[in-house]
Amino acid sequence: MRIEEFQELIAGTYQEKDRRRGVWGTYGWLVEEVGELSRAMRQGDVDSMREEFADVFAWLASLANLCGIDLARAAGKYAAGCPKCGNLPCSCSEEPGRVH
């Protein structure tokens, strides 16, 4: 499934509920799912990780839909490799706590 298809599927499935909940309520659910993913990763449970990655991706798509963001277009930022150095793989120096 392509990113566009997934985002459309999530919109068709949840958009009415998401609108009622609003941006910040939906963001709260996304953050909660990221926490559940963290727990699954610490436990090393691959099946739980798979489930939680799916949930995080679905909530991210819901939030993007509410904000009018096309996730496939947003992901295009990385289409040519690292957006900072322009290389694939990235050749930026590692800076603690910095993600680009």
DSSP secondary structure string, 15-59? Answer: HHHHHHHHHHHHHHHHHHHHHHHHHHHHHT-HHHHHHHHHHHHHH
Of the candidate CATH numbers 3.40.50.720, 1.10.287.1080, 1.20.200.10, 1.20.58.1290, the domain formed by 3-69 belongs to 1.10.287.1080
* pLDDT tens by residue, the chain, 100 residues: 999 999 999 999 999 999 999 999 999 999 999 999 999 999 999 999 999 999 999 999 999 999 999 999 999 999 999 999 999 999 998 876 566 5
Three-class SS state of 6: helix
Nearest to 90, CA basis, from 34, 99, 60: 99
Q: Is the pTM of this model over 0.95?
A: no
The per-residue pLDDT for 73 is 97
Cα–Cα dist 11/64, whole Å: 10
The reported pLDDT for the residue numbered 94 is: 81
CB 74 within 8 A of CB 58: no
Give me the count of residues in the chain. Answer: 100
Nearest alpha-carbon partner for 29 in 6, 79, 80, 63: 63
